[in-house]
Amino acid sequence: MIKPLATFTIEGYEVLIFLYPSIIHGGFTLVACGTTQNDELLVQHECEVCRDSSSIANCPYVRSAIKLYKESQKKVVHKVNLLKHQIGLHERFVQVSTPDPENINIDERG
């Protein structure tokens, strides 16, 4: 599993934004995960890997972020909505501790 370099949130929102090193080129890519009142997981992300793939769900960044979010937030998710939209760092992001992937015990297909 790809490990995030840092994790952020936005005060007042139930969201985690994971910053990953790019596996395609230098730099980074972000994945935002948050739940709705209906326990739906919203995932926002776009990168070169997803653009070349038939589905954003095949992206290793998205798979990693979903696993980390669900386990670290102890959320039961009934549905995952994937929004293919690139996000960037924002001044409202507050850095928080990154969940340790080594302590996440979710099947890779998860």
What is the per-residue pLDDT for 60?
A: 92
Q: Enumerate residues 6+ apart whose C-beta is below 8 A from 101.
A: 1, 3, 64, 67, 68
How do residues 40-55 score in pLDDT, each as one tens digit? 999 999 888 777 666 7
Question: With 50 as the cut, is the pLDDT of residue 106 above it?
Answer: no
What is the per-residue pLDDT for 4?
A: 95
1 compared with 101, residue with greater pLDDT: 1
Q: Enumerate residues 6+ apart whose C-beta is below 8 A from 40.
A: 77, 78, 79, 80, 81
What is the per-residue pLDDT for 78?
A: 82
> Which of 67, 68, 75 minimizes the C-alpha distance to 35?
75
Question: With 60 as the cut, is the pLDDT of residue 104 above it?
Answer: no
Mean of pLDDT values over 13-20: 94
